[in-house]
Amino acid sequence: VDAPIVVNGAAGRMGRLVREALVEAGLGPVAGCTRRTRADGIAPTSTGGDLRATVAVGGVIVDFSHASATEDLVAAAEARGARLVIGTTGQSEAQLDRLRRAAERVAMVLSSNFSLGIQRILQLLPAMRVLLEDGFDIEGLEMHHRAKRDAPSGTARALLEALLGGSSTAPRVHGRVGAESRRQAGEIGVHSVRLGGVVGDHALLFASDHELVEIRHRALDRAAFVSGVVPAVRFVRDRAPGMYSMLDVMRDAAVPSP
């Protein structure tokens, strides 16, 4: 019998839905971790020591909490030989480094966006890089609900990385204000809009003097993300240590087992 799954951030917008989806997919029992007592029956455990106590040896922790939980999450996975599926965004370079080091011993799927549509866009973006050579200006726009904590979104970062390549040093500009804020050659504007209940809306804009190209993705509801988490959990359960992406999960799911 597979060890139970623990959802960290279980009382949050994503955590609640993910927990339901995992149970519905027959991957239960699914425990939840949250830092506060809730009226909805989610155990008032916290990250750190308690997360470690909640996850079984060889279990899976699914994390939709906050980047500040990274150290506790990794420590719990290392201590219990657990696997990780991480949807949380906004990690600092140091926190990402910590995850990369942990991946030498821990199998983890790290994805800033579990939706199929964004993954397909990530696959096609390297082919759009040619527009840079054609001299097009490029800017990114992302919109999210008013409670989103990190900016720009992890997805906006991932889209730009897929488009430009990981080693790009093109300067980023976040919003413009002032009497002399003209666009500089080669800069990439990345603009974060926060309002209402917008689930997730990303656009990459490419323009020359005469043409505007838009690649746009709108998540219509959070089910767009949740549906990717179930295959990611199945994938990571029997994986060797390493850091895997949602594209790895999709490639694996597309190949029928022998």
Ligand X SMILES: NC(=O)c1ccc[n+]([C@@H]2O[C@H](COP(=O)([O-])OP(=O)(O)OC[C@H]3O[C@@H](n4cnc5c(N)ncnc54)[C@H](OP(=O)(O)O)[C@@H]3O)[C@@H](O)[C@H]2O)c1
Q: How far apart are CA 109 and CA 236, in angstroms?
A: 7
Residue list 223-242, contact with ligand X (CB under 6 A): 225
Catalytic hit among 66, 145, 148, 217 = 148
The residue number with the shortest CB distance to ligand X is: 12
Between residues 36 and 182, which has the closer beta carbon with respect to ligand X? 36
Peptide bond into 256 cis (omega under 30): no
Catalytic hit among 66, 144, 191, 202 = 144
Residues 6+ apart with CB under 8 A from 213: 131, 136, 205, 206, 207
Q: 223-237 and 116-128 helices cross at what angle (nearest 10)?
A: 90
Of 2, 4, 35, 79, the residue at the interface with ligand X (CB under 6 A) is 35
Q: How far apart are CA 110 and CA 242, in angstroms?
A: 10
144 annotated active-site: yes
Of 45, 65, 95, 119, the residue at the interface with ligand X (CB under 6 A) is 65
Q: Name the residue with tokens 């988490």.
A: 229
Residue list 135-174, contact with ligand X (CB under 6 A): none
Task: Please choose, out of 58-66, 120-128, 182-190, 201-209, the segment that lies near ligand X by the rule CB under 6 A.
Answer: 58-66
148 annotated active-site: yes
CB 34 within 8 A of CB 44: yes
Query: What minimum distance in Å lies between the beta carbon of 4 and ligand X?
Result: 19
Q: Which residues bind ligand X (CB under 6 A)?
A: 9, 11-15, 34-36, 47, 64-66, 68-69, 87-90, 111-114, 225
